[in-house]
Amino acid sequence: MNGRRGFTLVELIVTISLISILSSMVIINSGAIARYKEKQDFKNQVHAVYHLFVEEKQQGILDGRRRQAYIFGDKIYFQTLSPSGTKTERIDFNNGMRVVTNTYFGSTLVFNPVGTVNKGGQITFQSKGGDKLTIVVQIGAGRIYLKEGGT
């Protein structure tokens, strides 16, 4: 071989082919990874709203103060009413999440200090990708739960 060192044409073709196959697999999977991340972000946001509702209901029972939620398509305002004034907290939705069904539109969801609510209903959230989760509030006991899908 005259002492020359280097790659043969076959070795170069095999190496380039393997790199092409691996890079195409990464590109294909990156879309799936992005979709999975979007779904997880959506679920985390809805779970945060759900836990806020449950926590505010329980806190109202403990401190005897009424709480109100004003639900809009892209945000929720939560108010705590007390003799010293009203505290308002704003929760914005991220990554294209929005409310698609809201039985409280035009009215408020009130958590009374005795643990009941003013009106039963549901709030359905939808992700940018079309996934849906619904928070259901039952009248009477004021039970709040989360269910998959829409209405």
The tens place of each residue's pLDDT in the chain, 151 residues long, gives 566 677 788 888 999 999 999 988 887 777 778 888 899 999 999 999 999 999 989 998 999 999 999 999 999 999 998 888 899 999 999 889 999 999 887 788 998 888 788 888 999 999 998 999 999 999 877 799 999 876 5
Using CA atoms, how far residue 87 sits from 60, 82, 113, in Å, is 13, 8, 16
Burial group, residue 60, by CB count within 10 angstroms (0-12, 13-18, 19+) = buried
Q: How far apart are CA 89 and CA 97, in angstroms?
A: 19
Residue 151's pLDDT is: 59
First to last CA, the chain: 76
Using CA atoms, how far residue 145 sits from 31, 39, 51, 73, 122, in Å, is 32, 20, 10, 20, 10
Q: Please tell me the pTM assigned to this model.
A: 0.77
Phi, psi of 3 (to 5 degrees): 75, 10
Q: In what order do the strands lie in the sheet with 121-126?
A: 98-102, 121-126, 132-137, 144-148
Q: How far apart are CA 150 and CA 135, in angstroms?
A: 9
CATH fold for the domain made of 10-148: minor pseudopilin epsh fold (3.55.40)
Identify whether the C-beta of residue 143 lies closer than 8 Å to the C-beta of residue 47: no
